[in-house]
């Protein structure tokens, strides 16, 4: 950003500012703890829920996509590999056994979280957060857009598939709840590719504000007019319109504002934090939603990456604070409904820093899976490929030694109860990595 003033930021920087201010106030959580507690106990809350669910043996999946290619070597630091430090004189996270204040938090004797990921340590220690390293797509593309597309459609280097892996998963299983009005949501201003093709699935940027506006007294008649009008529309607009109309009442019955989290969990007041907080409320309100897709961007750290105090630090703080809150609120809270979270990004970044204290597009990366039935508390690696120049892909990047679809396919089969992995990941034979318990 150099010397350019940021006063013009309208919403892109809001998160950054809010986070920064809260840090000054004294860490995540403290400042806003009371804000989410409503004096009125929402009628649909709390732990009632899900007893009515017709199938609680299958997990709800929350898929988090880190857009921009996150630097897995900062998110989950291979401190045991001396080449990590050799290649990153300015942006490395100090070893956990160093005396530095911002030293890493050891996960085992090889890998560490940076301080910004501290909020996810409890989930890791509870054995419910799995980190998978040197993973990613087997496609070598270093283009954001190709790499994202191949990951989201679930098949590398295939431009013919228009639908996403989660979309085909939902289409290939019976609804968890018969007659569910809504089975999938993209918490997004457009439908993410991974959900394309899913029945009863629409993007909803803000579930707490879902209305057609206008005068209340004519709402019903306008809604039926629209239902009739869109009944003859072309797809995918027809289904989206009808699903939206069905969903208005469902969502309006939920008191998102007064939503009371479990275990005192506090979500960061960021777009991402509010999004997952809404996701938690949706899951607990038992509408039959099976898949939620949400993105967090800001990972394309070509310059001034600074995982210790700067831009990537803040992005990681947002990620870990939100997922940590979701873990406490939903996963650790004894909810009858199991939920599995997966976190991935299109590629990792160069092993060595570039000339502007950032990193350019790379290959192998970290991904995460979180849930009560995830075999977590460890960093899963299929032979660490190493960070010495001769060990790197194109002498630059961490190699991919574990296809990310191995992780997803096992979750689809074991946790989402879908034996048709071939539909979800066409032409792929997964290797079992014991990702689930």
Partner 1 sequence: MSTPQEIDEAAVSDLEPQDSASSALPASASDETDGRSASRRRALALGVAAATALLAPRRASAQRIVRPLTTRPAPPPASGDTLLRLVRRITNGVTEEELNLARSLGFQAYLEHHLNHEAIDDARVTDFVAANYPAVNQDVLQLYTQNQTTVQYALQDATLYRGAFSKRQLYERMVNFWSDHFNIYYPKVNYLKVVDDKDVIRKNALGSFPEMLKASAHSSAMLEYLDNTRSRANNVNQNYAREIMELHTLGVDGGYTQTDVEEVTRAFTGWTIQGRGGFRFDPTGHDFGAKTVLGNTIPAMPTSAGAQGVTDGERVLDILVAHQSTARFISYKMIRWLLRYDPPAALVDKVAETYTRTGGDIKAMIRVIMTPANLTAAPAMYRQPYHLMLASLRAAQPSVANVAALRDQLRNMGQYLFFWEDPDGYPHNTDWWGGLILQRWSFEAYLSARTGDVLGVDVTKFMTVSTANAIADSMNQLAFAGTMSASLKTRVAQYLAAAAISQTRVREAFGLALSSSEFQWF
Phi, psi of 322 (to 5 degrees): -70, -50
Minimum distance of partner 1 from residue 345's CB (angstroms): 13
Q: Does 414 bind partner 1 (CB under 8 A)?
A: no
Instruction: Decide: helix, strand or coil at residue 68.
Output: coil
**Of residues 50 and 245, the one with the C-beta less far from partner 1:** 245
Helix and strand totals (H; E) in the chain: 12, 12
Binding partner 1 by CB under 8 A: which of 11, 24, 99, 178? 11
Binders of partner 1 among 330-369, rule CB under 8 A? 354-356, 358, 360-361
> In this chain, which stretch among 73-81, 120-128, 201-209, 255-263 interacts with partner 1, using CB under 8 A?
201-209
Between 7 and 390, CB nearer to partner 1: 7
Closest to partner 1 by CB, 128 vs 396, is 396
In whole angstroms, the minimum distance from the beta carbon of 270 to partner 1 comes to 15
Kindly state the DSSP code that residue 1 receives in the 8-state scheme: -
Establish if 51 lies at the interface with partner 1 (CB under 8 A).
no
Count of residues that interact with partner 1, criterion CB under 8 A: 92
Q: State how far the Cα of 278 lies from the Cα of 76, in Å rounded to an integer.
A: 27
Of 135 and 350, the one with the shorter C-beta distance to partner 1 is 350
* Contacting residue, 43, 57, 215, 383, with partner 1 by CB under 8 A: 215
Using DSSP, state whether 111 is helix, strand or coil.
strand
Minimum separation from the CB atom of position 370 to partner 1 (A): 26
Closest CB 300 distance from partner 1, rounded Å: 8
Tell me whether residue 160 or residue 179 sits nearer to partner 1 (CB atom).
Answer: 160
* Contact flags string 268-307 toward partner 1, x per CB under 8 A: -----------------------------xx-x-xx----
Q: Are strands 129-136 and 402-403 parallel, antiparallel or unpaired?
A: parallel
- Give the separation between CA 132 and CA 367, rounded to whole angstroms: 5
Closer CB to partner 1, 142 or 405, in the complex: 142
Strand partners, 368: 131, 343
Q: Quick check: 78 and 109 in contact, CB under 8 A?
A: no
Cα–Cα nearest to 200, from 181, 186, 187: 181
Q: Identify which of residues 138 and 248 has a Cβ nearer to partner 1 in the complex.
A: 248
Q: Pick the closest to residue 343 from 363, 314, 320 (CA basis).
A: 320
Give residues 163-192 in contact with partner 1 (rule: CB under 8 A): 163, 167-168, 171-172, 174, 186, 189-191
Stretch that binds partner 1, among 109-117, 161-169, 276-284, 365-373 (CB under 8 A): 161-169
**CA-to-CA distance for 112 and 135, rounded, in angstroms?**
17
How far apart (Å, rounded) are the C-alpha atoms in residues 428 and 158?
Answer: 13
Identify residues 233-252 at the interface with partner 1 (CB under 8 A): 233-241, 243-244, 248
Residue of 66, 123, 176, 195 interacting with partner 1 (CB under 8 A) = 195
Q: How far is the CB of 347 from partner 1 (least distance, A)?
A: 12
Closest separation in Å from C-beta 268 to partner 1: 19
Between the two ends of the chain, the Cα-to-Cα distance in Å is 45
Cβ contact 394:143 at 8 Å: no
SS3 assignment, position 188: coil
For the CB of residue 5, give the shortest distance to partner 1 in the complex, in Å: 6
Q: Minimum Å distance from CB 92 to partner 1? A: 17
Gyration radius of the chain over CA positions? 22
**Residue 102 makes contact with partner 1 by CB under 8 A:** no
DSSP assignment of 266-322: ---SSHHHHHHHHHHHHHHTTS---EEEEEE-----SS---TTTSHHHHHHHHHHHH
**Of all helices (H) and strands (E), which one includes residue 380?**
strand 378-381
Q: Which is nearer to partner 1, 263 or 391 (CB)?
A: 391
Is residue 349 classed as helix, strand or coil in its secondary structure? strand
What is the DSSP secondary structure assignment for residue 411, as one 8-state letter?
A: I
């Amino acid at each position: 950003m150099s010397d350019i003033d940021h006063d013009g930021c309208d919403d892109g920087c809001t998160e950054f500012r809010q986070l920064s201010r809260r840090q000054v106030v004294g860490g995540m959580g403290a400042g806003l703890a009371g804000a989410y507690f409503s004096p009125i106990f929402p009628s649909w809350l709390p732990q009632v829920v899900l007893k009515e669910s017709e199938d609680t043996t299958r997990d709800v999946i929350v898929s988090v996509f880190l857009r921009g290619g996150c630097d897995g070597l900062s998110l989950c630091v291979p401190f045991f590999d001396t080449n990590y430090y050799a290649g990153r004189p300015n942006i490395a996270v100090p070893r956990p056994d160093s005396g530095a204040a911002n030293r890493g938090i050891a996960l085992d004797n090889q890998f560490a979280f940076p301080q910004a990921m501290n909020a996810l340590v409890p989930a890791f220690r509870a054995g419910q957060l799995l980190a998978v390293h040197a993973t990613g797509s087997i496609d070598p593309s270093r283009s954001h857009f190709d790499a994202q597309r191949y990951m989201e459609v679930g098949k590398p280097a295939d431009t013919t598939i228009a639908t996403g892996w989660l979309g085909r998963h939902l289409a290939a299983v019976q609804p968890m709840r018969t007659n569910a009005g809504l089975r999938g949501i993209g918490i997004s201003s457009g439908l993410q590719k991974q959900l394309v093709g899913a029945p009863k699935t629409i993007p909803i940027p803000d579930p707490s504000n879902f209305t057609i506006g206008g005068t209340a007294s004519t709402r019903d008649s306008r809604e039926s007019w629209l239902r009739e009008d869109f009944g003859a529309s072309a797809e995918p607009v027809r289904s989206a319109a009808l699903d939206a109309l069905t969903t208005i009442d469902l969502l309006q019955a939920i008191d998102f504002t007064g939503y009371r989290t479990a275990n005192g969990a506090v979500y960061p007041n960021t777009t991402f934090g509010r999004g997952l907080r809404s996701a938690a409320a949706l899951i607990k309100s038992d509408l039959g939603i099976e898949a939620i897709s949400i993105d967090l961007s800001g990972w394309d750290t070509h310059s001034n990456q600074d995982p210790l105090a700067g831009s990537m630090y803040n992005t990681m703080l947002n990620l870990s604070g939100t997922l940590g809150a979701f873990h406490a609120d939903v996963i650790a809270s004894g909810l009858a409904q199991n939920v599995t979270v997966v976190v991935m990004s299109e590629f990792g970044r160069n092993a060595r820093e570039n000339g502007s204290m950032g990193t350019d597009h790379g290959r192998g990366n970290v991904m995460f899976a979180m849930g009560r039935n995830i075999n977590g508390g460890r960093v899963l690696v299929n032979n660490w490929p190493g960070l010495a120049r001769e060990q790197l892909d194109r002498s630059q990047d961490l190699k991919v030694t574990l296809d990310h679809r191995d992780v997803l396919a096992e979750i689809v089969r074991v946790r989402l109860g879908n034996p048709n992995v071939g539909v979800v990941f066409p032409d792929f034979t997964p290797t079992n990595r014991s990702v689930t318990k």
